[in-house]
Amino acid sequence: MSKDRLVVAVVGATGAVGREMLSVLEGRDFPATEVIALASARSAGTTVPFAGGELTVKELTEDSFEGVDIALFSAGGSTSEKFAPIAAKAGCVVVDNSSAWRMDDRCPLVVPEVNPEALDTHNGIIANPNCSTIQMMVALKPLHDNGQIKRIVVSTYQAVSGSGQKAITELETQIRQLFNMQTPEAEVYPYQIAFNALPQIDVFMNNDYTKEEMKMVNETVKIFNDPSVKVTATCVRIPVFYGHSESVNIETVQKITPAEARAILTQAPGVTVLDNPGEKIYPMAIDAAGQDDTYVGRIREDETIENGLNMWIVADNIRKGAALNTVQIAEELIKRDLLGVKDTTVFD
């Protein structure tokens, strides 16, 4: 790669996350000399906003990655499974936002504030973790470093935007239908989401956990690179448009007091502590929407065990949970001089 030229492609540029990726690239002054918007043939020829102007969307093909240095993927698992190896074969480093490559041993699973060193051995495809996992990792890694977390119990309260634009529209439509005394129509979700809470995100697995819950379990262990950490999760969809919230309980080897946890997290990268119960200060989804940081509050001792803490963690699932983390990985690749693919045969 010529040092004075950096070409970046956004795959799935017309989707909610793809558009947010473009916005984040622009907002962070990412040092690209050219940004290419790619999507399916159906979207080719349309435009997406970027840098005060517009980019014309090009059709994603097997030849799309010639001369591209970094490709940010947010086009779904099947698209990533097909095209990410093609990109890596062309020498283009892929940062993929789908679940396709997260548990593949050839692909690092990265949250830049947590395990950037995992990028050093990348093979051309880097996985972006699940949105719920990302925000939990940002908040828990500093505590793990100080007290060694041995068990995590997490319950999530996840916004409908995690299911895409159709889910956002479905919530809007159901609210209108209910206010007009009509029966709400459910298509994206198995039941009404408006004024409801659905304790199912993705399909159920053989162990009766959902796929989303097992993502949090398996991804946490991989990111921490510590199989001794035990994780159990319950994931719930709630009628909020943007911003995932999480109730998290941790048990540590070394005791961390709530005051110590606040001090640690106040210094942690990407974290904002909002925690003053006396003044009713705690993070909410409306605080996180559109923001980069992960917000933590309600930090208190779990009085049922010796070394336990409870906390409440909130972040924008489209931004930090997807687009921002992906761009931060790309920034880290540049910082560490890790562009290019050393072995283009790894995914053959």
Q: What is the mean pLDDT of the chain?
A: 97
Beta strands in the chain (DSSP E): 7-11, 34-39, 47-50, 53-56, 58-59, 70-73, 93-96, 125-127, 149-158, 230-237, 244-252, 271-273, 294-301, 308-315
User: DSSP labels for 149-193?
Assistant: EEEEEEEEEE-GGGG-HHHHHHHHHHHHHHHTT-PPP-SSSSS--
Q: CA 2 from chain center: how many Å?
A: 31
For 275-308, the pLDDT digits (tens) are: 999 999 999 999 999 999 999 999 999 999 999 9
CA–centroid distance for 66 within its chain:
27
| Catalytic site includes residue 122 | no
Q: Is the pLDDT of residue 182 over 80?
A: yes
Query: Tell me: the pLDDT tens digits for 235-282?
Result: 999 999 999 999 999 999 999 999 999 999 999 999 999 999 999 999
pTM value is: 0.95
* Identity of residue 199: P
The pLDDT of residue 313 is 98
Task: Report pLDDT digits (tens) over 60-95.
Answer: 999 999 999 999 999 999 999 999 999 999 999 999
- The residue assigned the tokens 């999760």 is 233
In the set 92, 107, 144, 244, the catalytic residue is 244
**pLDDT value, residue 4:** 77
Contact between 223 and 139 under an 8 Å Cβ cutoff? The reply is no
- Of the listed 107, 131, 144, 235, which one is catalytic? 131
- Rounded distance between C-alpha atoms, residue 147 and residue 134, angstroms: 20
Helix, strand or coil, per DSSP, at residue 320: helix
Is 244 in the active site?
yes
Strand partners, 154: 233, 248
pLDDT of residue 3: 57
Place of tokens 């970094």: 70
Q: Which tokens is 164 given?
A: 């895409």
Asked whether the beta carbons of 317 and 161 are under 8 A apart, the reply is yes
Q: Are 242 and 162 in contact (CB under 8 A)?
A: no
- pLDDT for residue 126 is more than 60: yes
| pLDDT tens-place string over residues 21-38 | 999 999 999 999 999 999
